[in-house]
Amino acid sequence: MVKKRHFLFLSVFMAAFTIVRGQEIQIFTIEDFDLKGDVKVCLVSTDYGKEEYDFNKNGLLTKSVTRYNEADYDVVYYKYSKGDLLEKRAESYRNNTFDPSTSIAHFYEIDSTDNLTIQERIFSYDKQFLDQYIYGYDELDLASIERTNNDGTDITQVEHKKFKGENTVTYLLNDVPLKSIRTSTLKPTNKPAQRVVLTKEYLNGEESSAFEEVFSMDDKLMAQQEFEYNSELKNFEPTTRTTYEYDEKGMLIAETAKRGAGIIKKEYIYQYDNFEVGNWIKQIVTPDNTYTTRKITYYPADTKVVEE
């Protein structure tokens, strides 16, 4: 299963409820939340509500809570075995009452007898079958996703191609392209090498949008260029370009978005806790003057790692 790294603060509950064709199963760790060290619990206060993230001693996310107010909140539970995700339960509460009709359970079975196969079955809490996904892998990569529900079966093929140092992954639903991701390495003169990732989205098999991301070799997002597809000229036209700056700790301190003659710049200021790892506990964004605060609890130093 793939551990997907997210650049900025993410809402795990939304990710858990979104079934995206052509996406691999995601496992979240402390790194996805910009955390370091033996973090046990991270409580986050934002302008839209509060979030709580619980981690096991191995750094895997075991529970997330998104609170919109005192009476409305969502909870996601993750269950593992030896680092593999076995179960994910997403529960919805409104007016302090559990709502089974909008709560969903995901169950995973792993078969590595031959090439790796992962089965994902999805049910509502009122025991209604929703979807089944079978993820098939070749020796190294995801090769296919078979989706079955009450409407029938669809197969997403995942093609991997290498050409002149570029790796391209294309997702095709019943032979119709959904998305392509091309990864290459850029080596500018007298500058560090960079990884360039171009993602194209398709609608009904036709190109519709794209964005290009430039990463440093230590996986920091340095720039992102967005494109819109001009159906008359049959090409992509650049729109918004965003660049990112980091301090010596690797923390994001500024982002600048340019679209035409317009420029929007945000700067990030941090306050850190007193622990050795130095996680941030307050992030201030200017010129909006918005902020996010975090309360972090760590495991005791003598806590043993257990397999879950």
Residue 164: per-residue pLDDT: 87
> Token pair for residue 2?
């793939």
Residue 303: per-residue pLDDT: 57
Helix (H) or strand (E) holding 207: strand 206-216
Residue 247: per-residue pLDDT: 94
CA distance linking residue 68 with residue 54, whole number of Å: 18
| pLDDT, mean of each 10-residue run, the chain (308 residues) | 36 37 74 94 90 97 94 96 94 95 94 91 92 92 93 93 93 93 91 94 94 95 96 92 95 96 96 88 94 95 63
Q: What does the radius of gyration of the chain's CA atoms come to, in whole angstroms?
A: 21
37 and 276 Cβ atoms separated by less than 8 Å: yes
DSSP assignments along 251-284, one per residue: -EEEEEEEETTEEEEEEEEEEE-SSTT--EEEEE
CA distance linking residue 80 with residue 299, whole number of Å: 19
pTM of structure: 0.83
Q: Which class for 116: exposed (0-12), middle (13-18), buried (19 or more C-beta within 10 A)?
A: middle
